[in-house]
Amino acid sequence: MPKALLLENIHPFAAQSLRNHGFEVETLKGALGEDELIDALDGVDLLGIRSKTSVTRKVIDARPGLSAVGCFCIGTNQVDLDYAGKHGLAVFNAPYSNTRSVVELVICDIICLMRRIPAHTHHMKQGVWDKSAAGSHEVRGKTLGIIGYGNIGSQLSVLAEALGMRVVFYDIEEKLAMGNAHRCDTLNELLEQSDAVSIHVDGRKTNTGFFGEEQFAHMKQDAIFINLSRGFVADIDALKRHLDSGHISGAAVDVFPVEPKSSGDRFSTPLADEDNMILTPHIGGSTLEAQEAIGHFVSQRLEDYWEKGSTMLSVNLPQITLSSLPGTARIAHLHANLPGVLAKVNRVLGEENINIAAQALGTEGELGYVVTDVAQMPGEAALEALRHIEGTIRMRVIS
């Protein structure tokens, strides 16, 4: 029986779905460190993680039998994707399933900060009745600057316009503006006119320290700042200085440079004593609706890969969409993208008089992936020959 390990409190739907497909499933609530993960992966075929567990080169080298990793979240920067692909480890994620949940939290943060709800709540808890409109504003008519206009940024754009906000955005790639949103040519152009700035860039390493002292200094007086993207993107110390000086009137932060691995662990941040501040524990996509959708989406990708060899929506392998083909055996051959591999696969099968019923090939970068449906199961000699074709990374028979 194949085995799956699901970490970090992934929605129960995923575990049940995998069990329904014949997997023995173990679930753990928290994340695991590198050595703990290596120990836990003994005999495991599929791994499910969220954002706190890292699949490093050491882990990949220690557990070559691991077939696929499902990231039950948007990001995949917790996995060494290139190294995983070159060692036959497929990686899948859920790039769209929690978009709405993140966007709704951003809208909530904008309204609360514009109305100074965190500050008023803090004063009330201290026994101070401060009924004042000073510093409180409607969001209607204000300008929202969105940095990163991908799935989340563009949907945020639509909802913000529905609230009566003017939307400007900045992205390093060409993006189609939604509604009446206006594209800015430079980041500073966006910062200088935005009453609220929300970051939605991805987790690539080059975005480390992307938003620092220089960017905060360019923001409008009394603007608000929101980061629900990655903890390493924004300089928290610089943010604190601009909050303390009164330049920035409020902020909401959901992601941090260093985060606890498990719920209930102690956490501290220099932003904790700020007045008009919303701090949330990386829950941008953590709604029941989103987690169920993610559980369904990623578990299905893992099941399709295991049962059919389908790499559709993999983030690190050539993508091939495959359906079931009853009455055949399927040979999935992942290899270095070298000339002649397909011909060598077919030559091996032809020498065994094995009829090919269907075949699909995909290449991407340094990798190639060919899936061959054959009328009968090849003998061990033919399988061994396929495994020893130059450039072979992983060969798997699916029947």
Same domain, 298 and 331: no
Counting residues of the chain whose pLDDT is more than 70, the rounded percentage is: 100
- 388 and 354 housed in the same domain: yes
What is the CATH number for 352?
A: 3.30.70.260
Q: What angle do CA 111, 236, 226 make, to 5 degrees?
A: 20
Q: Catalytic: which of 50, 120, 282, 301?
A: 282
Q: Give 325's pLDDT tier (boundaries 50, 70, 90).
A: confident
- Pair 78, 3 in one domain: yes
Average pLDDT over residues 359-387: 95
Do 128 and 68 reside in the same domain of the chain?
no
56 and 157 both lie in a single domain: no
Average pLDDT score over residue span 320-335: 89
Confidence of residue 6 (pLDDT cuts 50, 70, 90): very high
Buried b (16+ CB within 10 A) or exposed e, 147-166: bbbbbbbbbbbebbbeeebb
Number of domains making up the chain: 3
Q: What predicted TM-score, i.e. pTM, was given to this entire model?
A: 0.83
387 is catalytic: no
Per-residue pLDDT reduced to its tens digit, 146-179: 999 999 999 999 999 999 999 999 999 999 999 9
Query: Both 143 and 256 in a single domain?
Result: yes
Report pLDDT for 328.
79
The answer to whether 259 is a known catalytic residue is: yes
301 has a pLDDT exceeding 90 = yes
Average pLDDT of span 109-113? 98
Query: Do 193 and 89 belong together in one domain?
Result: no
> Are residue 273 and residue 374 in the same domain, yes or no?
no
Q: Are residues 272 and 152 in the same domain?
A: yes
Which of 353, 314, 283, 265 shows the shortest CA–CA distance to 93?
Answer: 314
* 93 and 110 assigned to the same domain: no
Which one is catalytic: 34, 192, 259, 352?
259
Query: What's the confidence (pLDDT) of residue 31?
Result: 92
Other residues' Cβ atoms within 10 Å of the Cβ of residue 380: 8
Task: State whether 151 and 134 are in the same domain.
Answer: yes
Query: Which residue in the list 63, 230, 333, 335 is annotated as catalytic?
Result: 230
């890969």: which residue's tokens?
305
Mean pLDDT estimate for the chain: 95
Question: What's the pLDDT band for 262 if we cut at 50, 70, 90?
Answer: confident
CATH number of the domain where residue 115 is located: 3.40.50.720
Share of the chain above pLDDT 90, in %: 91
In this prediction, residues 87-110 reach a mean pLDDT of 95
Do 311 and 358 sit in the same domain of this protein?
Answer: no
Q: Which domain holds residue 365?
A: 318-399
| Sign of CA pseudo-dihedral 55, 60, 62, 63 | positive
Q: Is 230 a catalytic residue?
A: yes
pLDDT band with cut points at 50, 70 and 90 for residue 205: confident
Structure tokens at 318: 């050539």
Which spans in 87-197 are helix H?
Answer: 99-114, 117-125, 151-162, 187-191
Confidence band for 327, pLDDT divided at 50, 70 and 90:
confident
Q: Starting at the edge strand that comes first in sequence, how are the strands of the sheet with 277-279 ordered?
A: 182-183, 166-170, 143-147, 196-199, 223-227, 248-253, 277-279
- pLDDT at site 78: 94
